[in-house]
Chain A
Amino acid sequence: AQKITQTQPGMFVQEKEAVTLDCTYDTSDPSYGLFWYKQPSSGEMIFLIYQGSYDQQNATEGRYSLNFQKARKSANLVISASQLGDSAMYFCAMRDGTDSWGKLQFGAGTQVVVTP
């Protein structure tokens, strides 16, 4: 069963504007972690931000923030002041207690293109 859903296959955003990438998840485990990764065309996976299910506040890391709405099971990534270097594929991922090895389950990804 699909646990992570990213409904936006691709997005265009103008430089210096903010962009929100959607992510919804499904789990019955009350303890879980949500992750966002950036994958440039080079193929590496770059960790951006983490949100724990028990965290009281939304996570922030520099220009990245996570809009965590637990009741709606959504964990949207907000990139503020977009830069040309933000053009990449973005993946939402989740780890929950159904897998003792801590396997990450990934969404399909969203391709972001930042235009001048």
Chain B
Amino acid sequence: SAVISQKPSRDICQRGTSLTIQCQVDSQVTMMFWYRQQPGQSLTLIATANQGSEATYESGFVIDKFPISRPNLTFSTLTVSNMSPEDSSIYLCSVGGQGRTDTQYFGPGTRLTVL
């Protein structure tokens, strides 16, 4: 299984600012996924990031709010822009999903609080 790390592990931010979350994987992977988990809720996919192409965003998520970079096969960043308290969530990156049977593994998550 892939070993995934995320930075920062948690942060407290002021509204109107932006935060960039980093995701590092110990092996090369084709697809990386970014999920959001709002307090007391389940996980929702924000976008899928492939190396060398623009990220694909799910309905309700836009690039201006959640820009994603994927410079190589082991690294990705998610930026939460112009934050509001509603952005307070756990943000998780994930790898896997090459096929329907592939296990999807998750990073430890970034716990974001926006004041």
Contact = CB atoms under 8 A, between A and B. Distances in A.
Q: Do A and B bind each other?
A: yes
A106 B42 contact: yes
Interface in A36-92: 37, 42-45, 47, 50, 52, 91
Contact of B42 (A47, A96, A109): A109
A116 to B, nearest CB: 26
B51 to A, nearest CB: 14
A107 B41 CA distance: 10
Contact of A50 (B90, B103, B106): B103
A96 B99 CA distance: 9
Interface string B85-115: 0000010101011111111111111010000
A48 B5 CA distance: 19
Given A101-B97, A109-B42, A43 B31 contact: no
Interface residues of B, number: 30
A42 B102 contact: no
A45 B1 contact: no
A52 B101 contact: yes
A44 B109 contact: yes
A74 to B, nearest CB: 18
Contacts of B108: 42-44
A43 B111 contact: yes
Interface in B30-46: 31, 33, 37, 41-45
Interface string A97-112: 1000111101111000
B48 A101 contact: yes
Interface of B: 1, 31, 33, 37, 41-45, 48, 56, 58, 90, 92, 94, 96-109, 111
In the complex, the 5 A-B pairs of residues with the closest C-beta atoms, listed nearest first: A102-B97, A45-B106, A43-B109, A106-B42, A44-B108
Interface of A: 31-33, 35, 37, 42-45, 47, 50, 52, 91, 95-97, 101-104, 106-109
20 contacts: A37-B106, A43-B37, A43-B92, A43-B109, A44-B106, A44-B107, A44-B109, A45-B94, A45-B106, A47-B105, A52-B101, A97-B100, A101-B31, A101-B48, A102-B96, A102-B98, A103-B58, A104-B104, A106-B42, A107-B42
